Structure 1
Amino acid sequence: MLFRASFVVQLVALQQVFAAPQQPKAAEQPKTPAQAGCTNPRIRKEWRSLTVDERKGFTTAVNCLMNKPSKFKKYYPLVETRYDDFVALHVNETGISGQFGHPQDGQPHPGAAFNPFAHDDVHGGGSILPWHRYAIQSYEDALTEECGLKIGLPYWNWFLDSKDAGGDFVKSPLFDPVSGFGGNGKKEKNAGGFGGFGGFGFGGTGGGCITDGPFVNRTLRIGPQGKMAVNNTRCLRRDFNPNVVDQTANKKVLGPLLNSKTYAQFCQVIGMQLHNVGHMSVGGEMMDPFNSVNDPLFFLHHSNLDQLWALWEEQDPKRRTDYSARQGEVFGPDSVMSLGVYGAPWTAKELMDTQNRDGKGKLCFKYEGIPIEKYS
């Protein structure tokens, strides 16, 4: 299907047009590995497995982060809140070799034109999974330490909302106006595109400002499309397209994914197909490759991609050290996954085991979910 590759193709085109500010130098923070053995991991559950009170508690914590002052405003003048900090992080890391700052030292990094399969961009290559694993871990830490979140970061298993699993996308409990994230945007003519810009993507069933839910009155400040120097305040938009979930988040795609022989094979299906699912089915702000973090659904979508990776890893312990590169890619287990000023750099191999069984990594969490056989 055309939309499977569309998000990546559009990302490439936009990155060649819009510039982001230079990456600040990486934080001088010591690494603090989790306890070897990870005896008390956080438990991350699928959204519909949470109680109603847990769901409300989670969205309350997100709103708390949206009301706390930024820690990094000196680097990004437009950011106002702690939540904005994470939007700015994603904008800054969605970069091109030779155009944006290097992930580690803030210096321009020599390179040819953008190639989504052959450099260190956090979407186009093998780093998409370990980098986002680290980023959503940082977000979970902020919710826990600064806003009192009592549960692990939930995930949205869009497979359960597909026709293949007997689901109904628009009736997903994720979009409940009281105990979820709210629903679709108001119907607009000529909807579609990134962050309110027409001419890109696919028109869905909404396209305007969301009309209900805990984030209905939120004001977005950053973007669209990587713009960090122009104050463009606006509402949160969504443009639901259920067909994306039905046609991609199904057994025909997920079964072979979870039977991948190598990380390179697994990552290619994630990058070219399943990464698109959450972005393109929700639409609106989620269709902006730079600023999709503006919609809190971003983190539940990426947590699900991470859940699938963890499920695949757990089938064979050797997979927790498999970071095999795709053809032409120069990165491997020792590649640095940096959040810049947001945290100390870690290598891909230090982010592979979610339970840090060798005591050399950072992570201490695990997922609860459906058995792998349900995807086939």
Structure 2
Amino acid sequence: MKLSIALCASAVTAASLPTREDGLPLSEFGQTTSVSQEDAAAGIDLGFSLNPRGDQGWPLDTFGEVHHVEPADARQGKDLGGNNFSVLPIFGPGHESSLDSWLDKSSRKVGHDANRFRQFKHKVGDAIEKIEDIIDDVLEPRYLHPKDLEPKDVEPRDTGDCANPAIRFEWDDYSTSDKQAYVGAIKCLINKPASGKFQYSRNRYEDFVRLHQSYAPNIHSQSTTAQTHKFLLWHRYFVWAFEQVLRDECGFNRAMPWWDEKKWAGKFAQATIFTTQYFGTLPGPTNGRGTCVTNGAFAGLQSNLGPGQTVNNLHCVQRAVNEQTTAQTGVNSYNTCLARTTYPDFHSCVEFTFHAQGHNGVGATMADAIASPGDPVFFMHHLYIDYVFRKWQLGDLSRRTTISGCATNNGCSPLTLDTVIYLGNICGAKCPDLPVRQLLRTLSGHFCYRYNY
């Protein structure tokens, strides 16, 4: 049985970085590596036959690639057999000739007159399903059908909702001071000793890489037809735990950021997170090899974990952007996944389209399905994945109260509200093993947060 998964490699202090700065051949990273589930679960060396490394990049095929499908195939339900993907109508950029043309079609029922609308609130990438998704207010509301006045994007207050949720702010709405505090807190974890709970981890940040590496066979699908639908739930908890450790152990006291990745489809290297002030630039491959991160807050970052299940394997954290791949993370994939009506279908769509393409588009360390958290941008990518998950849940109350699908990618034992999600006690008493019912909603159970839009 083959296992396809993707996550990040871990970090050690820059002090241990050798003087060379040329990246490894991209072929050593490759795509998300497929390994047998038995070998991955046992942590067996996956036979990468790597040479001794300092800061020299590896061939990209060493990393592999996160298993993915193209957005066009996802819309047609191709290569996702057994997951009941239906071809649903999709609205918005990429599916209508223009926003204006869709407004014109909608105007027949709302008596559209451009002068009546105070403000268009549509953000590029947001799924558009009805008129209030793009119009903030109407001067003459009698032109709207009553059902069109119902707020679509405001989560109904349900019994048990927390009263004062933490707000996660999109990176471009985050202040310079907040951005600096966030990357500074991550550097703090890199420079703290490991907890001792995770064998082979060399620092506190690597604890997260090792946890992900160890659990990878159970939290990623083997293929598009042999899946575990714990992926979204486990990573929601994982990213939340990362936030708690930043706060409790490194004094991070700001709102948590998230990255609206779809805004940068096809131009990740221009994104405002990839600057010398913050996460460092996003280079392409160097002579067919990964390019070490040499600037920004994480310049010279070293990882002891990965690719795959390998350990005690010191190397520089590397990137190798492919903008043809990042182009697949945009509005088409976003709208395609939001259009799915069942949790397994939505989950499969996310895991194999823009989730996988985001990993592969950044490349090298991020393309490694198992140890990808080694690149700190992993957490920004998965904060976006959780944002889309919550956005989908807002579409129907049942999506926040029920679950279905497979708990395992091997035999498909049922995923239920009582299925337990394990997190290795990585943030102590704050991170107990919990049933799905405690993790399904962001405003009740174990969590109390939402996103700023």
TM-score using structure 2 length: 0.62
Q: Structure 2 residue aligned with 1:319, among 379, 382, 399?
A: 399
**Residues 6, 366 of structure 2: 8 Å contact kept:** no
The one of 311, 327, 338 equivalent to 2:422 is 338
Residues 5 and 217, structure 2, Cα contact 8 Å, conserved in 1: no
Q: 1:265 to 1:187 in 2, by over 3 A?
A: closer
1:269 corresponds to? 349
SS class of match (1:13): strand
CA distance in 1, matches of 2:347, 2:40: 26
Instruction: Name 1:176's counterpart in structure 2.
Output: 275
Distance apart, 1:66 and its partner CA:
0.8
Post-superposition shift, 1:133? 0.6
Q: How far did 1:152 drift?
A: 3.4
Hey, what does 1:188 align to over in structure 2?
A: 286
- CA drift of 1:11 comes to 4.1
| CA shift in 2, pair 1:133/1:6, >3 Å | closer
2:35 matched to which residue of 1?
A: 13
* CA separation of 1:258 and 1:220: change in aligned 2, threshold 3 A: same
**The one of 209, 227, 236 aligned to 2:310:** 227
3-state SS, counterpart of residue 62 of structure 1: helix
Secondary structure (helix, strand or coil) at the match of 1:68 reads coil
Residues 237 and 143 (structure 1 numbering): CA distance in 2 closer, same or farther, change over 3 Å? same
Alignment partners' CA distance in 1, 2:315 and 2:367: 15
The Cα shift of 1:70 comes to 1.2
What displacement does 1:91 show?
0.7
Q: Which amino acid aligns with 2:307?
A: P
Distance 1:132 1:7 in 2: 12
Aligned-residue offset at 1:211: 2.1
**Root-mean-square deviation (Å):** 2.7
Letter in structure 1 aligned against 2:214: N
SS in 2 for 1:94: helix
Aligned to 2:217: 95
Counterpart in 2 of 1:107?
A: none
- Say how many residue pairs are matched: 304
Q: SS at 2:35's partner residue? A: helix
Q: Where does 1:147-296 land on structure 2 (aligned, <5 Å)?
A: 147-162=250-265, 168-178=267-277, 180-185=278-283, 187-191=285-289, 207-228=290-311, 231-246=312-327, 248-296=328-376
Picking from 137, 144, 147, the partner of 2:247 is: 144
Say yes or no: does 1:84 pair with 2:172. Answer: no
Deviation string, structure 1 residues 182-240 (Cα, Å, up to 9, x no partner): 0124742123xxxxxxxxxxxxxxx2212211101222112221123xx2211110001
Q: Which residue identity does 1:13 align to in structure 2?
A: V
Paired residue type of 2:310: K
| Letter matched to residue 322 of structure 1 | T
For 1:250 and 1:186, the matched residues in 2 are separated by 20
Q: How far has the Cα of 1:79 moved from its partner?
A: 1.5
The answer for the alignment partner of 1:128 in structure 2 is 231
**Do the aligned residues in 1 keep the contact of 2:32 with 2:367 (CA within 8 Å)?**
no
- Displacement after TM superposition at 1:148 (Å): 1.5
Return 5+ residue gaps in structure 2 as ranges. 8-30, 45-158
Distance in 2, matches of 1:265 and 1:364, equals 26
Q: What code does the residue aligned with 2:313 have?
A: N
Q: How far apart, CA to CA, are the structure 1 residues paired with 2:195 and 2:303? A: 17
**Paired residue for 1:347, among 430, 435, 449?**
435
TM-score (norm 1): 0.74
CA distance in 1, matches of 2:348, 2:403: 12
Return closer, same or farther for 1:323/1:338 CA change in 2, 3 Å cut-off: same
Shift of 1:347: 1.3
Q: Structure 1 pair 186/258, CA: closer, same or farther in 2 (3 Å)?
A: closer
Instruction: Measure the CA separation in 1 of the matches of 2:333 and 2:344.
Output: 16
Does residue 363 in structure 1 map to residue 444 in structure 2?
no
Contact 1:162-1:249 at 8 Å conserved across structures: yes
Identity score, percent: 29
Once the two structures are TM-superposed, the CA of residue 85 in structure 1 deviates from its matched residue by 0.6
Q: Structure 2 CA distance, aligned partners of 1:362 and 1:82?
A: 23
Q: CA deviation at 1:253?
A: 1.9
Q: Which amino acid in structure 1 is aligned with residue 179 of structure 2?
A: R
Q: 1:306 aligned to 2:386?
A: yes
The reply on whether 1:40 has 2:128 as its aligned counterpart is no
